[in-house]
Amino acid sequence: MSKPRVRSRAQARARSSGKILNVAEKYFATLGYSGTSLRRIATEAEVQLALIYYYFGSKAQLYEEVLRRHTALLNTRRIAELDRLRAQQAPLEPVLQDLVTPLIDYAMKGGASGRRFVLLLARLFFSSDKESAELVRKHFDPVASRFIEEMERVLPELDRRTVAWIYAFTVGTSLGSLASEERVSRLADGKAALSPEELERTVVTFVLGGAQAVAQAAARAAEPHSP
């Protein structure tokens, strides 16, 4: 087979698979995994249903691929910055910034695809089914463990369980802030939403204050009491 023909087939596959992933991302984000059918995706992507199975194998594998193309970029950025912070023995605030900022940037500066990714994450993180738990374990827990280890270094007063909760509070606050943007604007009498930089600063300040308060309470509890 000639090289131009091979290249043409590869380009056609990339176009078709890209359309499938974009449509799947939209429906998985808005309807959830169980509410999305492959037939609906195939119809909107203008491909045969069999092509989805050929490219991705199953609905579960398609869902995972939708996640993977986002998480790979997000995790790469976070890990690179975390390595730099660890080498510098950085304090807590920049560690929290590295956890918060990439997600908010991705959501607010990544267009419609970035917004849909946040909806996907919210559905995934707050689901209790085994499939969602396995995807979180596979694609997010390794990086989460790195953050928790670094937070343990800068919060020596706290045990790992408490630090893990601080990590979870930080992620939950970030996701909740992004998902609540329209409602908060309404509750604020229509005031314009925060810019990405303002939201990042507000979330980091909020979770930093909470983490420091927890650490201070633990330090006080550990102090010897007078008889």
pLDDT single digits (tens) 69-112:
999 989 999 999 999 999 999 999 999 999 999 999 999 998 88
Residue 122 near residue 177 (C-beta atoms within 8 A) = no
Angle in degrees, 0-180, between the axes of helices 130-139 and 111-125, rounded to the nearest 10: 120
What does the pLDDT look like over 8-48, one tens digit per residue? 676 777 788 999 999 999 999 989 888 999 999 999 999 99
What letters, b where the CB count within 10 A reaches 16 and e where it falls short, cover 176-185? ebbeebeeee
Q: How far apart are the first and last CA of the chain?
A: 88
CATH of domain 60-222: 1.10.357.10
Question: Sorting pLDDT into bands at 50, 70 and 90, what band is 226?
Answer: low
For the domain bounded by 1-57, which CATH number is listed? Answer: 1.10.10.60
* Residue 133: how many other CB atoms lie within 10 Å: 14
Concatenating the DSSP letter of every residue in 118-143 gives HHHHHHHHT--SHHHHHHHHHHTHHH
**Per-residue DSSP letter, 58:** S
Q: Where are the domains of the chain?
A: 1-57, 60-222
And the tokens for 19?
Answer: 């359309």
> ∠95-97-103 over CA atoms, to 5°?
120
* Mean pLDDT over each residue of the chain, to the nearest integer: 90
Give CA angle at 141 (57, 178), nearest 5°.
Answer: 90
**Percent of the residues in the chain that have a pLDDT greater than 90, as a whole number:** 63
CA distances from 27 to 20, 38, 118, 139, 174 (A): 11, 10, 13, 21, 23
pTM of the model: 0.87
